[in-house]
Structure 1
Amino acid sequence: MESSTRTQRSSTRSSNIRSIYAIINNNIRERIKGAVHRLRRYVPAAVAEAVLHDQEKLRGERRKVAVLFADAVGFTHLSASLDAESVFDLINDLLSRLVECVHRYGGMVDKFTGDGLMAVFGAPVAHENDSEMAVRAALDMQKAAAEFEPIARAQLGAPLQIRIGIHTGLAIAGILGTQEQAAYTVIGDTVNMAARLEALAQTGHILVSSRVYHQTRALFNFQSLGTTPVKGIDQPVPIYEPIGDRSEPLPTRGLEGITGVFVGRDAELEQLRALLAAFLNDQRGRLIVLQGEAGMGKSRLVTETLSTITSDQVSIWKGRGLPYAQGVGYGIFRSLLQGVARSRSFGAAWDSQVSPPLRLFLWQMLGRLSPEEQVRLRHLGPERAKQLTTLALREWVLGEARQQPVALILDDFHWADDLSRDALRTLVNLIHKAPVLLCVMTRPQPESPLELAVPPAEEPLVTPLHLELELKPLSPEHSRALLAHLVDLSSMPETLVNTILSRAEGNPFYIEEFVRMLIEKEMLALGDHQWQVTSAVELQTLEIPTTLRGLMMARVDRLPQDLQDVLRNAAVIGLQFSARLLEEVESRLHGPASVLPPLERLAGLGLLEERSRAGEQVYAFRHIVTQETVYRSLLRSQRPALHRTVAECIESVYAADLVNQAEVLALHYDRARERGKALRYTLLAGDRARERFANREAIEYYSRALQLSQHLGQRQAERWQAAVGLGQVEQHIGEYEEAIACYQAALDEWEEVNPEERAQVFLRLGQVWSRRGNLQEAGEELHKALAQLDQAGNVLPALRAQVYSELGVLSRRQGDLTAAQKWLEQGLSLVGDSEHYDVLSSILNRLGGVHYNRSEWDEATKCVERALELRQRLGDVVGSARSLNNLGILKYTSGDWDGASTDLERAAELHERIGEVEGLSLSCNNLGVLCAERGEWEKAEKNLRRSFAIAQRIAHPYELAQAHKNLGLLYLLQKQWERCARHLKAAIPLYTEAGARANLDINDVYYLHGLLCLEQGQINTALEWTKRSYEMLHEMTNADEGESVEWGRYEQLMGRIAQARGDLKSARQHLEHSAAIFQASGSQIEAGRTAYWSSLLSLALQQPEKARKELATAQQVFEQLGATLDLRHVAEQLAQLEP
């Protein structure tokens, strides 16, 4: 006990000591920060840091710098009338404005020169693009002086202007002076030259040397002023005046002074340009897939291909995949749409071509939905939301293509998430519909190849619709040609040339980056058309990196330390990052400082590139090799702490929107080995992926969550969430055994979970068992769900309604329509007045199906119409199209043929607009049947042939069987017996192929076969087909007779066959039975036809008055429906009855 107390006291004492040290260290840090802050008023920040921490850094050294002199012209003369204090205040105001311009671009004010100043860029900290920073500061100084001009005019009575001179070169930088008084300064010929250029400049103008011009001409517009004598220089020197930024900077890729050359890709370029020309000429879409390893020139090849067209010919939009965005849905298309939205921000709405219901899904992709809109879309369910998002994207592309041809360039597609891949598969089908060029650039992926099914063209084309190219390494000859274009090889040792080409292994990016490295090492100097070797001796001793990654690392190692730090921290964040986030990371690691100057310098070096994004500055590594190389250079022991810092900064910067950062936070906290937080965000990422129907990503997140939870104690809630989430995904994709295992594992893992959540799992188990066909097991699980809800009390009415709905489905499948209606109506009573639109619309559809089975057409129609209204309110265009199709069938069956025609045409139009080909096939099929029944032969055949073509194209055996069956019906009505028989015969094996064994559609084929044989006088064969129809109906209903339309048709056909065989008594019995069934079921068309066939029987029985009444009944029905063919038959019989 005493030992335990001593240990406890020792522990407490150690803890207290640590706390005291922490306070002391914190105070020291605060004092240092204060000292640095005070020193920064008088010296540059880097000098202040060095004075306090590392004065060795300030020792004299030769540095490459850019020097700027600025002077207020004539200020001394103009200010002669002012008192000394006013003069001081005025010049201090002007100089303060100029100093701000210097600091904005990382420069140091070396000294004030009375009416002006001298500024240095590149000492004590080198920035690599110091000449650019000096020119930018000078241009800003001009603006600052212009803003100051009214103030000066008010006090001096005349304008005050400045002149500026800039030169770059080597100088001596360091502490100059004694121990008592010293200053950090820069001296040398470079300083003198800058001062002389300032003296030569005209008032209000800037002069720069030729060296500054060559280093910055890609970024600024210059005016050449010829040559001029300069004191101390033997020959006149060329001078230039910067006018302003270029509207389009020259490419940073490539090398200064060298015109880009395209080597070794002539064959590929010729193929791509031929395809592009065909695309523009025939306005037919095309698909290009370019594969190649990193650095092979995929992007350059596409740029070269598109360089021959203008924006007036083709709208070009670009999207890029990102490695850390694989778990974020539609990542590559989101980046594409961000560019579109950005470019149209001051013009027409970028999404105006998309219908309002679908527009929301594009906004969701961009994260621009309001909370109310998010709730509204959540009712749709993940699968439907995925479907509608893809349809919205499709509609946007079609809208763009209606205005002019459009090209979608999808780069780095090997990082595309599953939803982006699925969306691309949908968009590929557009190349048959619109002038859409899809260009996909990807690395080879043997483990998950990009499989895109391109439907064949309907007619032969000279240029194919689909082109796949794999970029191989350049040949040794082409590699040498590229190097020779950049560098004068006659000045380079042959052994070095061979070594470079050997190490490059045909990778053009390596060759270009190697030359860039030699330029940075000042081993090459720019000649007239090529870079020339300055020292063959130095080259002989150069250590040559063996790989592209080694070469990139050599470049990074030569950067100043501050740039290396920024680049490494950026690499930890990822391939693309926001400047705001990186600044927060840098602030935590190295203290507050702006990251924009170093980012601009790194962009100038070709390592990064700026990419705008709504509301914030975004940068990206220009090449993935750079990011990967820099990241891999970090010690494994360093990485977790850096990832932790990045994750914490994301939580800070995006605190108001952490949900949308879940995937990135899961990644960083996982790599930081912070398992608790990693688990939290991994589960959130899994839920988001499941809600988007991104199944593969969801499975990966939930599986990882289960792994993480194993390392953490007391995590039953998280394990429950992961197991249930995984089960939901497995259920969505039809892996029912795995789903059952996941749900059961969750129930076994945590028995203490609340009843509501257990009820949800039992409900899903019931759904899975139902889909597997085990209705008894399904019923047991659903009743367990009800028991849990009873235990929970009167909560979650929507969940209870879902259970009732599933029980209704089970009862209907078991043939108990009374029980099915009871369960569904109970569910409807719980959510009928709520906003649970998804549950409500599902119950209404199912209840409509029950009423349909009972031939209660009005009730069925009311249910489907209400479901349609809900789906339209949700923006569910897919569900709306299907509801319209169902309404059309109901109205057709109940006798409202005009209404049926309207709804079916609307359904077909909507299905076509959204590209739902399976739904379009179904709507055209139903419309074709209606037109055939009305005698509208041409319209019927057009729709049925269209349905047939779609079913063939999508290889859907069931829809193909339906098309065959209904074409058979059409040709039967047209009395084209042979064509009818051929289609009916083709339908049956297709139903079998589709897995249908006994259903109403196969029964319809038997019935039509019977009619066909009867019309041809093959009475015995007709009877055989009718018996087969009876056997199927008996198997389906387990009864000898029934009240459905199918039973009525059977009785009608048996009556006709009996009459044909001369058994008129049996014929009357069958026809009367048929009439009773159709009257009970409300099938007007069939009731009218039975009346017609009964009239023929009455005539055979010598009962003309009875026949006349029956014909009158039939005529009234057919006139109401608009059944012209049937009316013609009635008219013919009535004409024969005329006296």
Structure 2
Amino acid sequence: MERKLATVLFVDLVDSTALVAGADPEVARRRVTQFFDRVSHCVTTHGGIVEKFAGDAVLAAFGIPQAHEDDAERAVRAALAMLDSVAELGLEARVGVESGEVVVDEADSTFATGEAVTLAARLQQAAGAGEVLIGPHAYRLTSGRLQTEDVGPLDVKGFGDRIWTWRAEAVLDGALKRGGVAAPLVGREAELELLQNTYERAVRNRRAHLFTLYGDPGVGKSRLAQEFVEGLEGATVLVGRALPYGESVTYWPLAEMVKSAAGITDDDPLEVAVEKLRESCENEAIADLLGLASGVLEAVKGERSQQEIAWAAREWVERMEDALLDLIEHLAEWVRDAPLLIIGLARAELLDVRPGWGGGRLRATAIELEPLGREESEQLVEALAADGPLDADALEALLEKTEGNPLFVEETVRMLAECEGRPLSEFAERIPDTLQALIAARIDRLPPEEKTVLQRASVIGRTFWGGAIKELATEVEELDSVLDTLLLREFLVPEVRSSISGETAYRFKHVLIREVAYSGLSKSARADLHERFAHWLRERAGEELLEIRAYHLDQAAALIAELDGGPPPELAHEAAEALETAGRRSLAREAHRSARKQLLRALELEPTLERRYQAARAAWRLGDLPAVSKEMERVRAEAAEEGDRWCEARALAALSEVALNRDADVDEASRLAALAVDVADANDYEPRFDALHVLNTGAWWRGRLTDSERYARDQLALAQEAGRGDLESRAAIDLAGVYNARKDYELAAPLYARALELAEQSGSIVARGHALASSGDFAVYREDYDEAQRQLEEARALYEEAGVASALGRVLYRLAVVAWHQGDLDRAERLSRDSIRTLAPLEDRGTLCEAQRRLAEVLLEKGKVDEAERYAEAALDTVGPQDMTSRASTRSTLARVRSAQGRFDEAEKLLREAVGIIDETEYCAFGSETLQALAQLLRDRGREDEAEVFERRLEGTRVASSAA
């Protein structure tokens, strides 16, 4: 079995019952046979196959067994030709056309199944007499080639959603016409200049010159030629296209040029066309096409002798038959005293059939167009993105996928523009239908052994090894020769280095070649090949490439599950074990997103308590508090039931952090943390450390700095006993934070420095991020905002690398604070919003309330009082009842908003509440702004005596700070 992108056509005879009723059976049968013959002729002359006859309907397919990039256009051309052809019989037909992925049996490759078959049949039933209706996939594939009328959405039996449909009315000849922004010519200045210089030389010397542009599909050959000819002045431009199907098409490009030169149109009667030809050409040897070409040359030498001729054989030179190729070379060699530039556009396959094309001739040039560079690709994307620039992630994904191919860029931007508000992530793995058709056609033209190797290699990935292909393609006898040919055809490129010793490595030249080759394999074949490759990899590389082996086993299991409802137990067990080990490795190197994905999949394939804990642990490291709460509760329950203290202690420590940061419940967090310490063994350091950190943070929230210091010192001792530099770094940060809150900066400074040193030595990405973020915070207190920004940006990059969303949200908030102090309100607003967007789904209330109040402060400063009020009130709702610093800070912010609204009594009440909250704590560092705001408010209201009381308190705080 093989999967293909094909176009399906259903045609039915209109009023066939009336045709048969009352008619002689033999006459009726003859009429129906004539209908079938006409329809079949239209199908086959356009390169399709008639799959079956059903009653008086015909099913045809285009792209089976051989795909072509223009299969959809061929199908519509055939459909329109059918209407005209059967009309000559006095009959009418209705046609439905749709494209899509179908499955064909290799033993009987003309039988296809798939959604496109069903939809084409439904469209045919919905069409009126003499109508061709096309579905959405066929429309996209023919966009710019057809004159259509939008029929709108149709209710189609068997399809849940309404299907948008178009009526095909005519085929547009000539250049592709599409809506939207026209693609500019980017990065081809040197090639365009070479074309222009060659043209000027042909004009100057009055001689013919053959110029061949080689390049992969989509690299921009047609676009470059179009730009060149549009810039010509005073030249006659004749364009011919080689047709890949039809009858008597050998000299079709030449005929197009002659008709263009003579002004002959398709609807000219024969006698008019002959007269126009006679006027244009002195030689009337119409029956002899070579003589006709000679007539064109006479025109060049005669009445148009003062004009330059640019003959652009602009498409598919490699499809031209030998006779026409001979003629082109003959013209280039023998035309004298006539300025003639012949431009041919070709793929490298031309050299397979004409290795000497243009070779050994004095007036012949050939160049190859290479893909665009990154900067040029970005320019093209910017020019094409009519709805504004893509975000950084979407742009990066697009550039990675398209690899500098201009057509690939254009079609992918076009596909993204059709997202209609849906997330771009839905389209990240999709290939535009137009590109799939283009690449699939190129692959289908390969000999069977080359296609087999390409498809088997696609299962492995972008990079693969010769030994693996030998294992997966045992039926290919001359494998080295086939690989060499694929290298010459530029489907593959050699890899300089191989990650498996003794194995030659290869790489698909373009990622889309690999993806399209893979899409052609049936799912059952993919499953078998994934599993076989995983076993080869284990034998050849052992555990060195475990992550790759786990991926392939997972793919095999998933594909079989899709086909059969579930994978075999042996495969599920093998895949789960490999995925669990890979997930643990990912956690160890702090690749938390990968770890989470691998461990969840291992758990799905074969559930165990250990796998459930490891998957929940990955969520914990990512800061996904909702997932941690749900999954760790189950781990805790199962661990307690099984008597697994190791898992239970860790689950309790994780749940204590959820209670603190999500629920803002310090009492419950402290209870769970204390339980974790009790359950954990004495030498089980990690859960005990995590629990102590929660106890420390809970004491901090309450403003009990003495208790916080005690817990921090316990953390430090435990980390040193465990010999864990990453934990010791975290403990040093927690202890420094206590001194910072007391404004004892001389004691805090060396601890921050030590934390950074320990984090660097540990090699932990997250530990370095924590140390840099805390050191950046300390720089804010010292009012060194440039240093704070530098360290916080470094921390941000590390958190992004590790995928630690909660820590990333916190550092974004801290950067917003720095921007606020630097007076950059726009940046402060943007960073605050980014922090809120990151933290809100994680339900991290501890920092979320601070980000909300900071945004309110920024908006208030920018005069957006109403929006500032919304965020200030949201911050007050978010803050936990035992988070003393944030209870005070959020009230202080809302008080500022109330003052701006002229609601001074409410503002005073809020500020007095904030001062009262701070008074219940041991904080020195966090009350100054509130005291100053309250004193200023009282003074503004003429209550100077009361204001002086708070000003004296503020001065006392400053003196205490100086003494510290």
Give TM-score, length-normalised by structure 1.
0.40
Greater Rg over alpha carbons, structure: 1
The normalised TM-score by structure 2 is 0.47
